């Protein structure tokens, strides 16, 4: 039996990391082997591409291609083998992030994104995606309080993150059966409870 593929999405500062750990713990408690990973990244080569994408200036289309190159390697070397072995994969970001950041934030043509998505992972989408929705101003304040120097995405201006947020919500509306949108302004405890309840209702009843 194939495993399940669950992703966590949202702008930087939305608080995904704590909730990913809680989801992994819950899934493991139900007897499943869990692979926790991230994008861009997840394999040695994809992590090298991550460093380029996050820190090296590049053309918009180059950036999108680097993201999808890292994703193709991640899928081939880690995600697909794990799912085929019946393991569950919990991933911090996937293609929805590329839609939000490169299409929404940067202005990449949606048609070009669709071509890359259909080429790199035709028919492969997460079984469930949690979207942590947060006002960019709140996210920026959180990042400023915890990080001394951000990457080149984190250093973008507020209007960039407003566009990213809107693109995320647009994507969620278009794929409503896959997405669960959370209010990320609430306490971590309240969000953990919601994440766990959704997982239980979707997979463990």
* Structure-token match 């492969």, residue found: 124
Determine the number of helices (DSSP H) and then strands (DSSP E) in the chain: 9, 5
Taking Cα atoms as reference points, which of 139, 134, 142, 131 lies closest to residue 181?
131
| Residue 88 tokens, joined | 């569950």
Q: Answer whether residue 172 shows pLDDT above 70.
A: yes
Q: Which domain holds residue 31?
A: 5-203
Total count of domains within the chain: 1
Give per-residue pLDDT as tens, 100-110: 999 999 999 99
Q: What is the pLDDT of residue 2?
A: 76
pTM of the shown model: 0.94
Write the CATH number for 160: 3.40.50.300
Query: Percentage of the chain with pLDDT > 90?
Result: 83
Give per-residue pLDDT as tens, 134-170: 998 888 887 777 666 677 887 778 899 999 999 999 9
Q: Answer whether residue 92 shows pLDDT above 90.
A: yes
């Amino acid at each position: 039996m194939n495993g399940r593929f669950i992703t966590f999405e949202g702008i930087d500062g939305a608080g995904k990391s704590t909730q990913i750990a809680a989801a992994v713990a819950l899934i493991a408690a139900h007897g499943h082997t869990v692979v926790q990973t991230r994008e861009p990244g997840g394999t040695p080569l994809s992590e090298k591409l991550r460093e380029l994408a996050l820190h090296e200036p590049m053309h918009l289309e180059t950036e999108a291609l680097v993201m999808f190159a890292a994703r193709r390697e991640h899928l081939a070397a880690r995600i697909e083998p794990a799912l085929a072995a019946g393991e569950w994969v919990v991933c911090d970001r996937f293609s929805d992030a590329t839609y939000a950041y490169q299409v929404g934030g940067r202005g990449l043509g949606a048609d070009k994104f669709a071509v890359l998505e259909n080429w790199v992972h035709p028919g492969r989408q997460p079984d469930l995606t949690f979207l942590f929705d947060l006002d960019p101003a709140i996210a920026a304040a959180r990042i400023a309080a915890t990080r001394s120097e951000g990457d080149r995405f984190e250093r973008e201006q507020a209007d960039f993150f407003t566009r990213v947020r809107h693109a995320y919500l647009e994507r969620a509306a278009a794929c409503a059966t896959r997405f669960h949108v959370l209010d990320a302004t609430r306490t971590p405890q309240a969000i953990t409870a919601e994440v766990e309840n959704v997982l239980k209702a979707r997979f463990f009843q």
